[in-house]
């Protein structure tokens, strides 16, 4: 699958597949139109995560920036497609 590099937040919540870093992901999760966050689990579908917990865990004081996180944005939700480990 092709993922576009995410560039900036707009008033309209994005739709599509993006490659983001943890700071960009945190910005998406705090977007006014974001309804939630979940992670894709093979053969099961998606599992909903606590949005506020994710925002806290992605803050810069919690860990260094993570790169190349692949997500899908649709219907106001952020779906983490491939959790990326370093």
Q: Average pLDDT of the chain? A: 90
Which among 83, 85, 74, 71 is positioned nearest to 4, based on CA atoms? 71
- Average pLDDT score over residue span 44-71: 89
Supply 46's token pair.
Answer: 């998606």
What pLDDT is recorded for position 63? 75
Bridge partners, 77 (sequence order): 36, 74
More confident residue, 24 or 65: 24
Beta strands 4-5 and 69-74, pairing class: unpaired
Q: Are 74 and 28 in contact (CB under 8 A)?
A: no
pTM of the model: 0.86
Q: Where are the domains of the chain?
A: 15-82
Convert the pLDDT of each residue in 2-33 to its tens digit: 999 998 888 999 999 999 999 999 999 999 99
- Average pLDDT score over residue span 37-62: 90
């Amino acid at each position: 699958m092709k993922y576009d590099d995410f560039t900036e937040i707009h008033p309209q919540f994005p739709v599509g597949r993006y490659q983001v870093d943890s700071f960009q992901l945190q910005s998406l999760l705090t977007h006014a139109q974001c309804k939630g966050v979940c992670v894709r689990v093979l053969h099961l579908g998606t599992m909903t995560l606590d949005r506020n917990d994710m925002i806290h865990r992605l803050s810069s004081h919690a860990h260094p920036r993570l790169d190349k996180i692949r997500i899908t944005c649709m219907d106001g939700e952020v779906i983490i497609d491939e959790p990326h480990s370093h």
